[in-house]
Chains A and B, each alone.
Chain A
Amino acid sequence: MPERDHLTVTVQRGGPNEPLRPQTFEVPAYENQTVLDVVSWIQQNADPTLTYRFACRVGMCGSCAMMVNGVPRWTCRTHVSKVLDGNAIEVGPLRNLPVIKDLAADMDPFFDKWVAAEGQHHPTRTRDEDIAPIDPVTDERQAANAGIECINCSVCYSACDTVAGNPDYLGPAALQRAWTLYNDAKDADRNAILDAVSGKGGCHSCHSMGSCTAYCPNELDPLSAIAGLKRATAKRFFGGRK
């Protein structure tokens, strides 16, 4: 049996066309309940105009990331009992991104920065050639593997205080993507990657505060990936080869 009947849930409402304001709902409390369940209950039972985003509900797609009591989280994988502050929860749209409406953040700047960080594959071969064999035990492959499980949920981007202070900063996810490609034996243009992460808002803007690594729900380590890019650019500066 739950210890309490109801939760007090404060949800941020509004968007570009209406003022941002908090709205509080009383939501039935259950023993087993995620934050996404709570938001869905509000939308289905209290206010059908509440806007939010989700898809898989099992921590695979990354769509349902929101701020929960000021912390970016996948709401589908966050049990209410783990985050309750007294009897209350505050839910808001992801930080560091524009708000479309209510809990739905506009992900465009996040993905634009993936492109700006050269997060695209530069092939070494054409479709007419054999597939290049990859040795799974090399250090480079291990470094690439460490980052490829990113599902682009933007939790790290929202957690990052450097993004908050510097709108040009590419952010942890885009830079980690660049680092995985830099270490990919099948990528043909490492210099283009280093150029892309050396410009305005590139990896050198990172202050190594580590919120990305601390909050990543997939337990990835963008902080170390960014440190790797800093090392790689410094080595190239001194004429060193990878």
Chain B
Amino acid sequence: MSEFHLYMAQRLSALVMAPFVIVHIGVMIYAIQGGLSAAEILGRTQGSAFWFAFYGMFVVAVSIHAAIGLRTILGEWAGLRGGARDAVSAAIGLGLLALGAQAVWAVTV
């Protein structure tokens, strides 16, 4: 992937995340009014195709967005170059994807 394609992937993933972040925070604030237990949350999310798709796409977008951003920071701040920088940032992206997918699976399936 060229620098330009990474740039576009990061901007487009940000575009995807923006409404997700707002809905995520908005629903949390709305749902916890009057108290909410873990069992009640899971009761609403488990088996829900909507929340699976919502958080599934959110996790994919976060993994792409964060890995590309950290790749820049690794280059400018930590001085990593070339293949080492790409490998570390790809590993971070895959790690975020694995952790996020595990959470989405546990809460919505």
* Chain A residues proximal to chain B, CB less than 8 Å: 162, 165-166, 198-202, 204-205, 230, 233-234, 237
Contact = CB atoms under 8 A, between A and B. Distances in A.
Contacts of B6: 204
B76 A198 contact: no
Interface of B is mostly: helix
B75 A199 contact: no
Given A204-B7, A234-B8, A237-B8, A166 B75 contact: yes
B76 A162 contact: yes
A202 B77 contact: no
Given A204-B7, A230-B7, 20 more contacts: A162-B76, A165-B75, A165-B76, A165-B77, A166-B75, A166-B76, A198-B2, A198-B3, A198-B4, A201-B3, A202-B3, A202-B4, A204-B3, A204-B4, A204-B6, A205-B3, A205-B72, A233-B4, A237-B4, A237-B8
Q: Chain B CB within 10 Å — which of A165, A166, A204, A233 has the most? A: A204
Interface string B80-106: 000000000000000000000000000
B7 to A, nearest CB: 4
Interface of B: 2-4, 6-8, 11, 72, 75-77
Interface of A is mostly: helix
A162 B73 CA distance: 11
Contacts of A204: 3-4, 6-7
Contacts of A202: 3-4
B105 to A, nearest CB: 34
A199 B2 contact: yes
A184 B77 CA distance: 37
